[in-house]
Amino acid sequence: MFATTGDGAKIWYATAPGPAPVLLIHGFASDGESTWVRTGWVRALADRGHVLVDLRGHGQSDRPASGYAPGALAGNVLTVLDEADLSTVDVVAYSMGGLVGWELAKLAPGRVRRLALGGIGGRAADRDSMRRVAETLSATGLDACIEEVAGHRLEGPPPAPVLFAAGEQDDVAADAPELAAGFDAPFVSLGRRNHFNAVSSRLFKESATAFFER
């Protein structure tokens, strides 16, 4: 299915019904299928329901020339929630998706009940790191996204109760434990995982689910 944003971009999404739906927001240069389906997240959330979305410029969604700042991406995701008729969701987001989930909770107070953010720390997104990620994942056509996301970080007090998780070998999120401590938020170490394989961690799934059940 597709939701159409205010500037006419079509954003792909898929839903599965359930009593406590979880919105899944992938990271830069990825998509919903590879981040959440292939890693077992959708299966793990089968009894809750879920919403998958491909962010603008990624996966099956349109690739306009602009509109990639985290706040704008969050607005696209809010359009998806409205189209799917979901008033409240929990959110699992990874890497750049964490910026989007954070902005979504700020943009629409009360729509995001809890946030579980993986693979993100307190440092601003930088162009070189994003280019390396794109190269590792063989992704192309993301220059506009890199330019508009670079320089952004998690800012302000947490807009919803938040859990942080990261692998011990994740250079992108190396300061995640300190960030969590600064927010007085729980942090889960995903062991000897790096930025590219931490999302599939069983501990991440179990910790997020337990956090949502509080």
Query: How confident is the model over 65-92, as a mean pLDDT?
Result: 98
In this structure, what CATH number is given to the domain that contains residue 63?
3.40.50.1820
pLDDT of 94 reads 98
Looking at the 3D structure of the chain, how many domains does it have?
A: 1
In single-letter form, the type of residue at position 88 comes to T
Give pLDDT tens digits for 160-214. Answer: 999 999 999 999 999 999 999 999 999 999 999 999 999 999 999 999 999 999 8
DSSP strand pairing (162-166 vs 112-118): parallel
Query: How does pLDDT run across 145-172, given as a tens digit for each residue?
Result: 999 999 999 999 999 999 999 999 999 9
Q: Give the pLDDT of residue 159.
A: 98
What is the span of the domain harbouring residue 7? 2-212
| Inter-residue contact 95 to 118 (CB < 8 Å) | yes
Supply the pTM of this predicted model: 0.98
DSSP letters along 173-192, please?
TTTHHHHHHHTT--EEE-SS
